[in-house]
Structure 1
Amino acid sequence: MRIAFALCSWGFGHATRSMPLIRRLVKDGHQVDVICSGRPLEFLKKNMSDSVDYVSFPEPPNPFSGSGSNFTLNLAATLPSLVMSVVKERKRFNRYFLKTRPDLVVSDSRYGIDTSKAPSFLISHQLRFMSPAVFKPLNFTELLNRCFRNYRKLIVPDFDKGNISGDLSHNLKLTNKERVEYIGVLSDFCKKPEKEDIDYLISISGPEPTRTDLEKKIFEQIDSLEGNVVVSLGKTGSSSPLVRGNVQVYNYMDKDTRENIMNRAKIVVSRSGYSTIMDLYVLQKKALYIPTPGQTEQEYLARHLKDKGISDFVSQDRLDISENLAAAKRYKGFTKRYDVKKSVDNFMDVIFESK
C-alpha cells in the first residue's frame, strides 16, 4: 500500500514523534512518501535514509516565529497568509495525489494535506486553543475541527485517561467524540537502564530571538549549579562538546547522543513543547519547564503539569536557575513506565480498521 505521510515542519517535534509510526509502516511493507520541508526534512533524510521517499512541500508561515511577547499580534498578522497557504497546499497536494494515487493519507498537523478520494487521518494533540489570559479552553475553537471533514479520525498522541495534554484535547464540548482516537504518547526515545550521572540537562530551543535570549540568561547563571551539567544549544554544527569546568556544551546532538544523555539526566530543563513532554514521559524524568514566551500552548501545558504535581515551570523573564531547580526537584516527575509500541499498534489499528 502507498501511504502519504505529511509532517508539520515548524520544529523537529512532529518529525521525531512520527518516526516510530513511519518505521512501522515501512516494516510492514508499505511504501511511504514523507511530505515535509526545511530542517526537519533534512533530519528525516539523515535518520530514515532511503527507506522512504521524500516530497518537499513549502511550509505555511509559522506564527510561532518572531518575538514571543508579540505572539498574538504575530498570529493575527500571519493568519491571512496562513489560510491562503493551506488552500495552496491543498491544491498542491491534489496535484500530487492525482499523479501518485496514494491509498491512504496521514497528516501530522499539516492541515492542507487531506483528500476525499482516500482515507485521510489527522494527528494532533491540540483540538482547541487556550485563552492567553486565563488559560481556559476556548471551546468555540473546536469548531475548526468541523472544517477537517476529509479526516476520518482525529488521532491524539495521548491517553484517554491519565492524560498529559489536558484541555488541549480532552473534555471536548463541540467535537464529535466518535472521530477522536487517543492512541497513547509517541516518542522516538526508549527508557534504558543508564546510571543517572548527569545532574542537569539544559535543552535550549525555540524560535529566535527567544532562543538566544534564553541561552544568554542560562549562561549568566550556570556557574551557580553544582554537579555535572550538560547544555544542548539546539544549533547546527559540530556534535563534539565544549567542556567548561563542570559543564559540557553541545551545539548539536544526534539522536543517539541525545537519547543517551536524557536517560542519564536526573532532571531536564527545557521548553514545554508537547513532543518534548512526551519524550520525558517515556524516559520517566523530572523537569523544569521554561515555556517559549507568548506560546499559550506551552504555557498551558507547563501550568497543567504543575497543577498535577508532576513538574515545575518558570517564565523566561523570571528565571533563577538554581532556585527554580531546587523547587523542581520536589515534584514527582513522570513515573509510569510505558512502551511506545503500544501507541504504534493503536495507530495501526485506527488507520487500517477505519478504511
Structure 2
Amino acid sequence: MKVFVAPLDWGLGHATRCVPVIREFLRNGAEVEIAVVPANAAFFREVFPEVRQRIAPSYNIVYPKHGFNMGLWLLKKSSHLNAVIRYEHRYAEEMVERHGYDVVFSDNRFGFYSTRAHSVYMTHQRRIAFPPALSTLEGIGIRWHNSLMKKFDEVWVPDVEGFPGYAGALSHVEGCPVPLRYVGLLSRFAGLETLGSGDGSTSGRNVLAIVSGVEPARTQFETALRQILAQVPGEHVMVLGKPQKGTRSWKEGNVEFHNHLPTEEFARAVRNADWVISRGGYSTVMDLAFLGARCIFVPTPGQFEQTVLARELSSAGYAAYIPAHSFTAGALEKAFQAKVALPAPPREDLLQAAVRELL
C-alpha cells in the first residue's frame, strides 16, 4: 500500500500533527511519501529522514497586520486560494498517476484529493469560526466546508467523539457528506509523556514560550514575548519555530533562545517549565495535553478559531487565556495565579484502529 501525505502549510502545526499519522502508516507496512513545501521540509527531514519528500504547491499565506482586517483580506485573496486549490488538485491527480499512490491523505488541503486513489481529509475545524458580529455566517461556512469534503472518500477528526472533547464546537458538528470518524488526539509527543524533567531549581518562574504561525503575526508575538519575559523574574526559554534555520541557540538576559528544538529536547523543555505560553493553535493544544503542560494561550489576532478554542479551554478550567491586545507583563502575572490543567488524552488508540481499517 502506497500513501501520499500532504499537510497544509499555514504554520507548522499541520506538519506536527501528521507525524503520528505517518508513523502509524509506516508501522502497518505502508510505503509513505510526504508532500512538502520549503517551510516544513526540514522538519519532516529531521523526523523521517528515510521517507521520500516531494515538493508540493504552497498556499503562500501571509496574514494581514491587523486581525480585524481578516474577513476583508480573505475576500480579497479568495481568487488566489481558489487557484491554489485547483492547482493542488491537478498536482495530486498527476502524482497519483505518475507514482501509483493507493491513498492520498490531506491534512486540511482543500484540493488534495484524487479520483484514482482513496482520499482522506483530516480537519478539526468542521465549523468555520466567525466573530460574534458575523456568527450568523457560520452556517454558510459549514456548508462551504461540507462542499469541499464531498470530494473525499472519508473525513478524519483529530479529537474525541464526545462533546466537548478538546476542540469543542469547532470539531463537533452534526452531519457530514461522507463517512466521518474521530481519531483521537494526534501528537508527535505520544510516548514521551513520562520523559524526565529537570530539578526545577530556578529563581522565579520558569516559562517556556513557543512562537508559531505565519507572518507578520509570528514576529509580532516574538517581539511581545521578548519584552514581557525580560520583566518576569526567572530563567525562561523561547522556541522560535524556525526548523529551516537549524538548531542554533543563544542567550539574551534571562531568556534562552532556540530556533528549533528536536522532539525529545522540546518535550523536556515543556516538562521543565512551570508555564507554557503559546498562540494556542489546535495542534499545539494536542501536543501540550500529551505533555501535561500548564498553558497560557494568546490567540493570533484575526484567527478567530484560536480565540474560540482559548475561551472554551479557559471556561473549562483547562488553560489560561490572554487576548493579544491585552498581553502585558501584568496580565501574565495575573494568569500565573490561575489553577488550570489540560486533561490527559484518552488511552484508547483511535488512530491505530482507523489506519488498520483503511489499509
Give the SS at the match of 1:202.
Answer: strand
Q: Of 292, 304, 310, which aligns to 2:300?
A: 292
* Map of 2:266 onto structure 1: 258
SS in 1 for 2:342: coil
* 1:233 has 2:232 as partner: no
- The separation in 2 between residues aligned to 1:136 and 1:321, in whole angstroms, is 32
Whole-angstrom CA distance in 1 between matches of 2:343 and 2:9: 31
The structural deviation recorded for 1:337 is 5.1
Q: Which amino acid aligns with 2:227?
A: E
Q: Deviations over 1:268-321 (max 9, x none)?
A: 000011100111111121111111111111111111111212112112221123
Of stretches 289-298 and 71-80 in structure 1, the one that deviates more from structure 2 is: 71-80
2:226 aligned to which of 203, 219, 223: 219
Q: Which moved more, 1:190-199 or 1:13-22?
A: 190-199
2:355 is equivalent to residue 351 of structure 1: no
Tell me, in whole angstroms, the C-alpha distance in 2 between the residues paired with 1:184 and 1:101: 29
Q: For residues 89 and 252 of structure 2, what CA distance do their matches in structure 1 show?
A: 49
Superposition TM-score, scaled by structure 1 size: 0.89
Aligned residues of 1:181 and 1:350 also touching (Cα < 8 A): no
Give the secondary structure class of the aligned counterpart of 2:5: strand
| Deviation for aligned residue 1:329 | 4.1
Q: Cα distance, 1:213 vs. partner? A: 2.2
User: Could you say which residue in structure 2 is the equivalent of 1:342?
Assistant: 349
Mind listing any 5+ residue stretches in structure 1 that lack a counterpart?
none
1:202 aligns with: 209
The answer for the alignment partner of 2:185 in structure 1 is 185
**Structure-2 change in CA distance of 1:136 and 1:347 (3 Å):** farther
User: SS state of the match for residue 106, structure 1?
Assistant: strand
- What residue is the counterpart of 1:242 in the other structure? 250
Does the 8 Å contact 1:192/1:263 carry over to 2? no
2:141 corresponds to which residue?
A: 141
Which amino acid in structure 2 is aligned with residue 228 of structure 1? E
Does the CA-based 8 Å contact 1:282-1:338 persist in structure 2? no
**Superposed displacement of residue 66, structure 1:** 5.1
The CA deviation at 1:265 is 1.4
Correspondent of 1:308 among 307, 316, 321: 316
CA contact (8 A) 2:33 2:53 kept: yes
C-alpha RMSD over aligned residues: 2.3
Letter in 1 for 2:58: E
TM-score normalised by structure 2 residue count:
0.89
Give the % identical residues.
26
How much has 1:80 moved relative to structure 2? 1.1
Give 2:341's aligned amino acid: G
Decide which moves more: 144-153 or 270-279.
144-153
Paired residues, number: 348
Aligned to 1:88: 87
CA distance in 1, matches of 2:92, 2:259: 36
**Alignment match of 1:164 (pick from 166, 177, 184):** 166
Query: Partner letter of residue 258 of structure 2?
Result: Y
Structure 1 residue matching 2:154: 3-state secondary structure: strand
Q: Distance in 2 between matches of 1:212 and 1:116?
A: 40
- What is the CA–CA distance in structure 1 between the aligned matches of 2:336 and 2:133, rounded to whole Å? 23
C-alpha contact (below 8 Å) 2:130/2:305 kept by paired residues: no
